[in-house]
Amino acid sequence: MAPDDPTRCFGGGDPLYAQYHDEEWGRPVHGDRVLFERLALEGFQSGLSWITVLRKREAFRTAFAGFDPAVVAGFDEHDVERLMADAGIVRNRAKILATVKNAHALLRLQAAGESLDALIWSYAPEPRPRPLGWDEVPATTAESVALSRDLKRRGFTFVGPTTVYAAMQACGLVDDHVAGCWLARA
């Protein structure tokens, strides 16, 4: 629970963003379906502000059937057109198609007896010193480059090293709450 007057790395000034910072970002996330969602949303965020995607997250969940990979893998051109007409989400054909393709890749991974959870968490780096400020937070790391490469090899798209590192931060594989943030002190 956040203190009465928290100092945050980010998210001040917007209650939704502050709640995301305080309750989600940097906390460990497990499970194929939720990690599939997080990778998809980080892909949709590419080139945009995270708050834009965060404000549309519930609409994304509705549009993409709760990010159920079996359902999303069944999306056809009619579904893509439906999504392109949905003002509640980011309407980018390449990102929509990538999400459908990634659902197929996830199902192939599971059919091979593997999990997205185990794959992603196998790239969790050793803890490093807490960043003093955002200028010390990398955009990519050796681990995000390697995970990106592995995901692409397995058929995932829109998972470049920067997008993957953002997902690693969001899903708690790394803790980039900067010094001075109330969560860095917690």
Check the CA dihedral 173-123-140-34 and report its sign: negative
Q: Which residues are catalytic?
A: 20, 42, 50
